[in-house]
Amino acid sequence: MLTDKVYLIRAKDVNFYIGEKPISIEGGDITIGDKTYKGTPGLWELLTMARPNESICDSNDHADYAEILNVTKAMSMPSNLNKPKASGGWKYMNIIQPIWDANTGKGVDVVVLPQDSNALIEMLDLRMSSFKAGNTGLRNEIVSILDELLRQKAIDSDSYKNVMV
């Protein structure tokens, strides 16, 4: 398992930083400014790993991670905050770039999910077929559908993990 060397938590003097902001860590939770983020295994996976294990990350972890990256400006080049710290790595392509694009208004599609679990399962089946055929742009939508099915208790966490594998 490789640790993240680009969007990482770094130590400077006696403090920890993400991007340009100092952070504090207490009991596994992360505080940036006056906001504390619950240090779930999924959030820590996103914060520290170059290729996070997505099966332990939920939509709340992704939302917190996106907020942390935005607040700390960790995605931006220090010399030009309007340019991303781009790389060809897995984490950039699959996690960072979609967050950057959402913040800058690029490639943002709104997907409305039905509340009926049967309709969600049918939608998931179609998206999975398309994904297996090579349409990798559906990954975030698949994760959203799975998160909603898990929230509705239509699937359990083991089923979620099996689909993600």
pLDDT reported for residue 112 = 66
Confirm whether 31 is domain-assigned.
yes
pLDDT reported for residue 151 = 84
Measured at the CA of 17, the angle between CA 91 and CA 33, to 5 degrees, comes to: 110
Confirm whether 111 is domain-assigned.
no
> Is 128 found in the same domain as 99?
no
> Is 95 found in the same domain as 150?
no
Residue 68's domain comprises 9-104
Out of 104, 132, 152, pick the residue that ends a domain.
104
pLDDT reported for residue 36 = 95
Res. 65 pLDDT band, cuts 50 70 90: very high
Confirm whether 3 is domain-assigned.
no
Res. 26 pLDDT band, cuts 50 70 90: very high
Confirm whether 124 is domain-assigned.
yes
> Is 89 found in the same domain as 32?
yes
> Is 121 found in the same domain as 98?
no
pLDDT of 127 strictly over 70: yes
Using DSSP's 3-state secondary structure scheme, residue 133 falls into: coil
Cα–Cα distance between 161 and 142 in angstroms, integer?
A: 12
Q: What is the mean pLDDT of residues 146-164?
A: 86
Other C-beta atoms closer than 10 Å to the C-beta of 159 total 13
Residue 33, CB-side half-sphere exposure with 13 Å CA sphere: 8
Q: What is the mean pLDDT of residues 130-153?
A: 84
Say which residue, 44 or 89, is predicted with more confidence: 44
pLDDT of 91 strictly over 90: no
Cα–Cα distance between 107 and 84 in angstroms, integer?
A: 15
Confirm whether 96 is domain-assigned.
yes
Average pLDDT value for the chain: 85
> Is 152 found in the same domain as 93?
no
Cα–Cα distance between 143 and 136 in angstroms, integer?
A: 12
CA 142 to chain centre: 13
Res. 20 pLDDT band, cuts 50 70 90: confident
> Is 100 found in the same domain as 121?
no
Confirm whether 2 is domain-assigned.
no
pLDDT of 107 strictly over 60: no
> Is 38 found in the same domain as 78?
yes
> Is 126 found in the same domain as 74?
no
- Please indicate, yes or no, whether the overall pTM of this predicted structure exceeds 0.75: no
Confirm whether 62 is domain-assigned.
yes
Confirm whether 109 is domain-assigned.
no
**What is the tally of structural domains in the chain?**
2
Contact between 66 and 37 under an 8 Å Cβ cutoff? The reply is no
> Is 65 found in the same domain as 140?
no
pLDDT reported for residue 12 = 87
Distances, alpha carbon 160 to alpha carbons 20, 32, 47, 65, 98, in Å: 35, 31, 22, 20, 22
> Is 93 found in the same domain as 40?
yes
